[in-house]
Amino acid sequence: MDARSLPAHRRPVNTVFQSYALFPHLTVAENIAFGLRMKKVAPLQIAERVNRIMGLVEVSDLAARKPGQLSGGQKQRVALARAMVNEPDVLLLDEPLGALDLKLRRQLQGELHQLQRRVGITFVYVTHDQEEALVMSDRIAVMNAGKIEQLATGEELYERPRTRFVAQFLGACNLLTGVVEQVDGTTLVVKTPVGQMRANLTRATRKPALSEIVTLAIRPEKVRLASADATVTANQVRGVIEDAVYSGAETQYRVRAGDHRLYAIALNSRPGHLGLHAGQEVCCHLDPCALILLEDHS
């Protein structure tokens, strides 16, 4: 449906704002019913739809309260109910959880995801939180300077970004720019600042030419660390750990390899495993199947 010729108030779209935008003088039930009253829906139908949506977002026991008596999470539920009660074809959520603390935000992420599955309304969810985008979405549009840089599933964007912008926007990423030395079937050989790298082209979107400048990307969790006495072969780089940050489930490493830095992440999966430490020499292995050929190099 092309809605460009329709005035805003006639488009089948509703919005959930980051600031909630609830009417402070109205109760929860009256806030939710406001849009239906503006559409002159019959009072009995308004009561039925308001009660149904309050039950769906679990605010029925708050019906008589004013917004000033609600917590942030409760206000967000009411704002969501007010938008959904009008049964729009599309629901635009403008950073709806941005004002909430981390624990509540994660709780409501799961609830919103389940709610969307139950009601079947298309949610257009705007967020600057990369983790939230991956958790909430069926498809993600990564925007850059007002244009869509890449549109795909979260897994595809993370595992196969097409450009440097997408690779660096969704999570951390190592980028290696170099010159193509060989293209042999599905194998690409690139001379980079940390040595010669082989990359698998099976899932690449293009095949580069000899002597072309290209950029390879690899996620930190796909960089494997080993002791420094390992035999250096293709796709192995010796370096020194500059920093090691323990964060519970994983440890994040920053490795200096000549004039270049590589970032690696290792899961703390072994009980009592202390991991590597700053100042230690290591060997970094970059799996050819984990190296991604980007479409741009600068």
What percent of the chain has pLDDT above 90? 58
The pLDDT score that the predictor gives to residue 279 is: 92
Q: Per-residue pLDDT for 172 more than 80?
A: yes
- In tens, the pLDDT along 1-31 reads 677 888 887 888 888 888 888 999 999 999 9
At 272, the pLDDT band (50, 70, 90 cuts) reads low
Give a three-class secondary structure readout of the chain.
Answer: CCCCCCCHHHCCEEEECCCCCCCCCCCHHHHHHHHHHHCCCCHHHHHHHHHHHHHHCCCHHHCCCCHHHCCHHHHHHHHHHHHHCCCCCEEEEECCCCCCCHHHHHHHHHHHHHHHHHHCCEEEEECCCHHHHHHHCCCEEEEECCEEEEEECHHHHHHCCCCHHHHHHCCCCEEEEEEEEEEECCEEEEEECCEEEEEECCCCCCCCCCCCEEEEEECHHHEEEEECCCCCCCCEEEEEEEEEEECCCEEEEEEEECCEEEEEEEECCCCCCCCCCCCCEEEEEECCCCCEECCCCC
Q: Which tens digit of pLDDT belongs to each residue from 81-104?
A: 999 898 888 999 988 887 777 887
Q: Which residue has the higher pLDDT, 4 or 245?
A: 245
How long, in residues, is the chain? 298
Average pLDDT over residues 189-198: 94
Percentage with pLDDT > 70 across the chain: 97
The CATH architecture that domain 174-293 belongs to is Beta Barrel (2.40)
Report pLDDT for 232: 65
The pLDDT tens digits for 194-213 are 999 999 998 888 889 999 99
- The conformational region for residue 16 under phi > 0 = left, psi -120 to 50 = alpha, else beta, is beta
Is residue 103 a contact partner of residue 80, using CB atoms and an 8 Å limit?
Answer: no
CA distance 15 to 98: 15
Residue 273 has pLDDT above 60, yes or no: no
What pLDDT score does 247 carry?
A: 87
pLDDT of residue 193: 92
Count of other CB atoms within 10 angstroms of residue 253: 26
175: tokens are 């980028």
C-alpha angle 62/65/66, rounded to 5°? 135
Are 27 and 66 within 8 A, CB to CB? yes
What's the whole-model pTM score?
0.80
Dmax (CA) for the chain in angstroms is: 79
Mean of per-residue pLDDT scores for the chain: 89
Q: Report how far residue 44's alpha carbon sits from residue 275's, in angstroms, rounded to the nearest whole number.
A: 65
Q: Where are the domains of the chain?
A: 8-138, 174-293
d(C-alpha 103, C-alpha 220), whole Å: 26
* Rounded CA separation 191/198 (Å): 9
Distance CA 81, CA 186 (A): 52
The CATH class of 8-138 is: alpha beta
* pLDDT for res 274: 56
Picking from 117-121, 152-156, 212-216, which range would have the lowest pLDDT averaged per residue? 117-121
